[in-house]
Structure 1
Amino acid sequence: MSELAAPSIRDWDYPRGTASVLLMHQFAAERGAELPGVPVAELRAPDRQLDARQELAVVRALLSAVGSGDDVALSLGCRYRVTTFGIFGFACISSPTMRDAMVFALRYLDLSFTFCIPHVELSDAGLGLVLDDSRVPADVARFLVLRDLSAIYTVMQDLLPGISLRQLEFTFQGSSYVESYRTAFGTVPFFGAAEHRATFEPDLLNRPLPQANEQTVALCAAQCDALVARRRARSGVPQLVRERLVRLGGADAGMDEIARQLTLSTRTLRRRLTEAGTGYRQLLDEVRQTLAEELLDTGALSVDDVALRLGYAEASSFIYAFKRWTGTTPAAYARRAQGKR
């Protein structure tokens, strides 16, 4: 047995776009439920990015609002189409063969929304797609295994209509939603298996895709490279903290409140910021300095007004902080900005 290609990530905790969360909001709305979290209008911003734990919080809210049955997970998974994945999906559908599409998907797996890490194995028994849920929180593991695998299978059918499964296996015991499995996968699975596995015919890899275009794939790959680079540069918790502080206008909400908004414990937030080489106070200072310079550049506000807008109780505290950041006072900075006009 050999692995087709190693997935680019080994854990679900990576920054994500908003398409998956938007899809879950729509799925819930169709069932008369409204999910908490980031407002939908903000999620539609083209370059909006989420921490994986934010998406996980939406998953838990969805389960609470509409139910956690296998039928819900499978129905949701079938809503993920190749177009849900943007440029990543467009690259896959433009690949020459299913092999090329799978290799591409594994290479750019952090542009997907999966929580269970897929491995593609080749053997005499066929092509095996195995999902690793070992790091997925236990309370949502079954739901996410079913959502992720049904989403993957739905996308594969978008790439190559008419494909079918040779065998489907899950580690958990039984289900009362047999028809939901048949609808999602075209077959009834075996339960109590050693791993979560979907097995296809071995010749699937070599089948050409009907919308193949190698030039398009090359262009998409370049855009995926750029997207991955941008996400990694802005990645994770530090950028999410910055975004919340900007939304608060630089006011110090406190680390406990920011952690609550990110659905993290304060201890975990502090650890993850430390691992990223920064800290809450440092990020607060960065945001306040940026906002202060923008406000002073306008020339419309006094130093006292800027201090008030940034949440300082006294202008003297702001003046001291600004001088520490820039080496000059706010008044001197404002005069210099005025002189450049």
Structure 2
Amino acid sequence: MSRIGLLADAMNSSLKYSTLAAWPLAICRALEAHGYDPASLLTDCDLDREALVQNPDGRVDIRLMTRFWDQVRQQTRDEAFGLKVADYALPLHFRALGLLMHTADSLEDALLKIGRYAAMVSNSVTIRVEQTPASLAFCIDPIAGVPISTMAIDSFFATLMRFASQLGARSPLVAQVELLRPRPTEPASWERYFEAPVIFSASQNALWFRRGQLKHGLLMGDERMAAYNESVVQAYVAGLDAATFGQQVKRLLLAQLEAGEPAIGSVASQLNLTERSLRRRLREEGLSYRELLQQSRMEMAEYYLRHTTLSVTDIALRSGFADASNFARAFTRWFSQSPTEFRKTQLPH
């Protein structure tokens, strides 16, 4: 084991990355509605439907969830089935987070709450909410080494749009959709569902809402109930992610490094902290942002060298280095081996 450990092992240990039981249950309802029996798929993935029903606040290991999605794709032979699942997911299935949406002041505020507490739904990706004067975007950043089905991304975006429509948003609601997934054989399914342009093989996963259409809604706007529901959600998320601040920062860095080096202010905002507070919290743990950034770069590089055939130059760029030479020098200082030498030691003998 290396100085910082194998990224894949760190990412996938125990139930660190999981999703709410509502998701596999919604998939089961969708399968049955379209004439499929989910029982054998659940068994193949070591999932117990009755146990999920009895514990709706429970969690499902993301590895099992991704395997379940893969089984769904094989059985239905429908690469757009994730969009259909959204028709069987309701806000109340997401427990206190769904109630928090209903009691928010506005539809836009409700969507922002989902972004803030998205870890309750799934902590196996990171969620960014981008805002412009005309648009509000949900951006899903995968975490290196954590298996996520493209159908899960489709389903989450479709569910967000459906929730907004159910709560009174007006059409046309979506301005554009960006998906990392390659262009499917029948892209029209996505364009019909979102009623908007869909860009495949994009640089990010992003669902762009038209802010003007979010001014309408049928929400309760109950301040007292909203405060109570938010406290329940906060307690749930806190219990789910009892990681140190250093670990939380590294998770965000690993998810976003490929798109460019995240500024500390952006990371602090995603943790609902000021930059000053985040620096103080890290100091209390004997860490610094620059140190975590370097560790994250090295973890990502180590993962790609061990588990992919990407060139050293590609790995350098994905890990946030300007070129292969700077990457090789930094890697050699860290591991006492060049990237090429390191990769050779991982080959089977």
TM-score range for the pair, normalised by the shorter chain length: 0.5 to 0.7
**Is 1:168–1:198's contact at 8 Å kept on the other side of the alignment?**
yes
Shift of 1:15: 4.1
Deviation larger for 224-233 or 29-38: 224-233
Quick check: 1:64 aligned with 2:74? Answer: yes
Distance change >3 Å, CA 221–CA 105, structure 1 → 2:
same
Q: Which amino acid aligns with 1:32?
A: D
1:25 to 12, 24, 28: 28
Q: Distance in 1 between matches of 2:198 and 2:145?
A: 21
Q: Which amino acid aligns with 1:54?
A: L
**Is 2:158–2:194's contact at 8 Å kept on the other side of the alignment?**
yes
Distance change >3 Å, CA 50–CA 170, structure 1 → 2:
closer
1:95 to 83, 91, 104: 104
Q: Distance in 2 between matches of 1:38 and 1:22?
A: 10
Q: Deviations over 1:6-30 (max 9, x none)?
A: xxxx999534432212222333344
Larger Rg: 1
Q: Distance in 2 between matches of 1:203 and 1:27?
A: 31
Q: Deviations over 1:285-310 (max 9, x none)?
A: xxxxxxxxxxxxxxxxxxxxxxxxxx
Aligned partner of 2:151 in structure 1 is 143
Aligned partner of 1:154 in structure 2 is 162
**Is 2:130–2:137's contact at 8 Å kept on the other side of the alignment?**
yes
Shift of 1:220: 0.8
Shift of 1:172: 4.0
1:53 to 50, 60, 63: 63
**How many positions carry a matched residue from both structures?**
222
Deviation larger for 74-83 or 223-232: 223-232
**1:81-92 correspondence runs (5 A):** 81-92=90-101
**Is 2:140–2:204's contact at 8 Å kept on the other side of the alignment?**
yes
**Is 1:78–1:184's contact at 8 Å kept on the other side of the alignment?**
no
CA RMSD of aligned residues (A): 3.2
Aligned partner of 2:48 in structure 1 is 39
Distance change >3 Å, CA 56–CA 172, structure 1 → 2:
closer
Shift of 1:88: 0.8
Gaps of 5+ in 1: 1-9, 234-341
Q: Distance in 2 between matches of 1:83 and 1:125?
A: 29
Q: Distance in 2 between matches of 1:102 and 1:162?
A: 15
> Secondary structure in 2 aligned to 1:127?
strand
Shift of 1:83: 2.0
**Is 2:80–2:151's contact at 8 Å kept on the other side of the alignment?**
no
Aligned partner of 1:328 in structure 2 is none
Distance change >3 Å, CA 158–CA 117, structure 1 → 2:
farther
Distance change >3 Å, CA 50–CA 172, structure 1 → 2:
closer
Quick check: 1:191 aligned with 2:200? Answer: yes
Q: Distance in 2 between matches of 1:76 and 1:84?
A: 13
Give the TM-score taking structure 2 as reference length.
0.54
**Is 1:115–1:144's contact at 8 Å kept on the other side of the alignment?**
no
**1:1-341 correspondence runs (5 A):** 13-29=16-32, 30-34=35-39, 35=41, 36=43, 37-46=46-55, 48-67=58-77, 69-113=78-122, 115-124=124-133, 126-133=135-142, 135=144, 141-163=149-171, 164-204=173-213, 207=216, 209-231=218-240
Distance change >3 Å, CA 173–CA 202, structure 1 → 2:
same
Q: Distance in 2 between matches of 1:218 and 1:125?
A: 28
Q: Which amino acid aligns with 2:106?
A: T
Distance change >3 Å, CA 157–CA 120, structure 1 → 2:
same
Q: Distance in 2 between matches of 1:135 and 1:19?
A: 24
Q: Deviations over 1:258-303 (max 9, x none)?
A: xxxxxxxxxxxxxxxxxxxxxxxxxxxxxxxxxxxxxxxxxxxxxx
Q: Which amino acid aligns with 1:210?
A: L
Distance change >3 Å, CA 116–CA 228, structure 1 → 2:
closer
Aligned partner of 1:248 in structure 2 is none
**Is 2:182–2:200's contact at 8 Å kept on the other side of the alignment?**
yes
Distance change >3 Å, CA 232–CA 123, structure 1 → 2:
closer
Q: Which amino acid aligns with 1:155?
A: F
**Is 2:17–2:122's contact at 8 Å kept on the other side of the alignment?**
no
Q: Deviations over 1:171-205 (max 9, x none)?
A: 44433434422442123423343333222324456
Shift of 1:122: 1.7
Percent identical residues: 16
> Secondary structure in 2 aligned to 1:38?
coil
Deviation larger for 79-88 or 45-54: 45-54
Q: Distance in 2 between matches of 1:82 and 1:136?
A: 30
**Is 1:165–1:200's contact at 8 Å kept on the other side of the alignment?**
yes
Gaps of 5+ in 2: 1-10, 243-349
Shift of 1:91: 0.5
